Amino acid sequence: MDYFHSVTPTSIVAIIAFPLLFLFSFLSISKRNTNSKKTAPEAGGAWPIIGHLRLLGGPQPPHISLGNMADKYGRMFTTKLGARRALVVSSWEIAKECLTIHDKAFATRPKAVAQELLSYNHAMIATAPYGPYWRQMRKFATIELLSNHRLNLLKHVRESEVKTSLQQLYQLWNKKKSSNSDKVLVEMKRWFRDVTLNVILM
């Protein structure tokens, strides 16, 4: 009975986590073995959760690390960026083929459950996979939202927001200036962020 009182929350988490990790790795290995598609070789040295991110975030610049990997694994190989696999192409001929002949195969983005839930089943243009719906949304955004005519119609919103923000900046200066100095410290990064956000939300 005293044994159960000495069990800590950390040990409970460990007892639950290890079987789940074992099950996850077993399922991913069996899924990998059943997949018969021919894929590019995967670079070695990936860690379980972060993959090859440790190599790309090291003391060497990422392009040098990828160049060294290309010397070792060839002109086309895959790396793991976290849980996702990424194709690395280090030959301009293959890159040209990927971006011209097979561009539709590379045009979409990977599907994730979180993306699907947060974007209402990929209804947002930023998360929608490439296809007829995405092309229609891009056309709509280009014609209706980002056209010169539409931007000219909304010009007054940008002008009024910048004017209001400059007035607030002047009031802040007027309030904080001292008799010794007219200088006031303002965090411009935050100010520009607020102006941009207000223009978007207007």
**Model pLDDT for residues 163-173, shown as the tens digit of each residue:** 999 999 999 88
Report the pLDDT value the prediction gives residue 136, as an integer from 0 to 100: 94
- 34 confidence band (pLDDT: 50, 70, 90): low
User: Same structural domain for residues 122 and 89?
Assistant: no
Report the pLDDT value the prediction gives residue 7, as an integer from 0 to 100: 62
User: Same structural domain for residues 81 and 19?
Assistant: yes
C-beta of residue 69 within 8 angstroms of C-beta of residue 79: yes
User: Same structural domain for residues 111 and 99?
Assistant: no
Report the pLDDT value the prediction gives residue 103, as an integer from 0 to 100: 86
CA dist., res. 154 & res. 146, Å (int): 11
User: Does residue 202 surpass a pLDDT of 70?
Assistant: yes
CA dist., res. 44 & res. 69, Å (int): 9
Report the pLDDT value the prediction gives residue 108, as an integer from 0 to 100: 82
User: Does residue 51 surpass a pLDDT of 80?
Assistant: yes
User: Same structural domain for residues 60 and 20?
Assistant: yes
User: Same structural domain for residues 60 and 130?
Assistant: no
- Number of structural domains found in the chain: 3
Task: Return the structure tokens found at 25.
Answer: 């790795």
Report the pLDDT value the prediction gives residue 163, as an integer from 0 to 100: 94
User: Same structural domain for residues 16 and 67?
Assistant: yes
User: Does residue 24 surpass a pLDDT of 80?
Assistant: no
Provide the domain limits for residue 32.
Answer: 2-106
DSSP lists the bridge partners of residue 51 as 47, 81
User: Same structural domain for residues 18 and 53?
Assistant: yes
> H helices of the chain, where?
2-5, 9-34, 53-56, 62-73, 92-100, 103-106, 113-118, 132-140, 148-153, 155-176, 188-201
Q: Give the CA distances from residue 133 to residues 62, 103, 138, 141, in Å, rounded to whole numbers and listed in that order.
A: 35, 17, 9, 12
User: Same structural domain for residues 87 and 52?
Assistant: yes
Q: Looking at 2-6, 80-84, 179-183, 186-190, which range is the least confident one?
A: 2-6
Report the pLDDT value the prediction gives residue 159, as an integer from 0 to 100: 93
CA dist., res. 133 & res. 136, Å (int): 5
C-beta of residue 42 within 8 angstroms of C-beta of residue 80: yes
CA dist., res. 143 & res. 115, Å (int): 26
Q: Count of CB atoms within 10 A of residue 51's CB?
A: 21
CA dist., res. 193 & res. 3, Å (int): 55
